[in-house]
Amino acid sequence: MNRTVRMADSSMRRNSGLASAGIATLKAAVGEILLQAGIVINGDNPWDIRVRDNRFYPRVLKDGSLGLGESYMEGWWDCENLDKFFFRLLPTYPEEKVKKNWKMLLYLFRTVILNASRKSNAFTIGRKHYDVGNELYKKMLDKRMVYSCGYWKDAQNLDDAQEAKLDLICRKLGLRAGDRILDIGCGWGSLIKYASEKYGVSALGVTVSEEQAKLARENCRGLEVEIRLLDYRDISGKFDHVVSVGMIEHVGYKNYRHYMEIVHKSLKDDGLFLLHTIGNNRSEITGDIWVDKYIFPNSMLPSIKQIADSLEGLFVMEDLHNFGTHYDNTLCAWLNNFEKNWHELKSSYDERFHRMWRYYLQCFAGAFRSRFFNVWQLVLSKKGVPGGYAAIR
């Protein structure tokens, strides 16, 4: 009996030793990837990570970006300043150092071959992201509920930065009283409400979010503004100007050309189209798999090459303005509002959502700070502005 117990005890110690050795190997592999970005496991810097569960190591090596985000949501690791972590990590393209597994291959097949942004999926982003709750966005965003990058050139706070961005767009379009504009992806109606009040225009705003449409109609009551729950492919009519802020990110590269054709058909010959988008430094055909699953389903960020290809023969590029660094300030302001008001939100969302949303905001803040992503405003005309377009900043 004693001999059997001793043999079992010896076997357990041996297996435990093998497991420890395996974790040490996996930890070293992850540590090597992070060290290339100046990040240390269990280090003392605010951008270093603190691993609380050893399952983190095999999970990240197996699932890459998806494993990194999900393991954070589960509380397997923490970081004092996630934005500083991503500021260092993203420019090293760590995903390329992790072998793609079947989940990534399935994601690529669904996104590329099946065209995840096809019309039948148009309202998915509305249901899964924008319909998550208007109260969340009211607590997080500025007073006008603008869910895109603010313009901080002369602004000291989020409200001022967002109003400055709205006015910048109106001035770039040269809005005049009596103009009729189309806003593709109008959100909660902040831009067209501002343009109607300050510049005397009428407007049609379209969105794929029921919650956005409902609140936008309330916000724009009494103005010459119409809000429709509508996919961009079903837009009809002619407009003096067209604007789209933060919407082409949900179009998908297979649909960019058709999107531009819709805008071209909707725009009067002497009108302007302002496209505001997050921009990718690389031409890619998918988005990030964690972002796709938890934040923006069926989304991807266009490169300047992809945008240029899509508008060739349709539009003249009048102006290109990059103020991507301003998104860092915007996202940090959103995060501050979110954390400050979490006590009022937590009855509607659990701690896993809390960690997910924090991860999302800080990941993107680090991405813009490192110039991994950009924010572009393009002003486009159909035939060229006679005498040239005067850029406005």
Query: Tens of pLDDT along 347-374?
Result: 999 999 999 999 999 999 999 999 999 9
Name the residue with higher pLDDT: 290 or 3.
Answer: 290
Q: What is the pLDDT of residue 18?
A: 39
Degrees, nearest 5: CA angle 294-296-300: 125
pLDDT tens digits along 235-282: 999 999 999 999 999 999 999 999 999 999 999 999 999 999 999 999
DSSP-derived 3-state class of residue 316: strand
What DSSP element (H or E) covers 302?
none
- Residue 208 and residue 231 in contact, taking contact as beta carbons nearer than 8 Å: yes
Q: What end-to-end distance do the CA atoms of the chain give, in Å?
A: 85
- Residue 262 and residue 137 in contact, taking contact as beta carbons nearer than 8 Å: no
Q: What is the pLDDT of residue 102?
A: 47
Rounded to whole angstroms, the Cα distance separating 358 from 82 reads 9
DSSP H helical ranges for 36-110: 56-73, 82-89, 102-108
Q: What is the pLDDT of residue 13?
A: 47
pLDDT tens digits along 66-110: 999 999 999 999 999 999 999 999 999 988 876 554 454 444 445
Residue 24 vs residues 21, 285, 347: alpha-carbon distances, Å = 5, 35, 40
Q: What is the pLDDT of residue 245?
A: 98
Which 8-state DSSP code applies to residue 208?
A: S
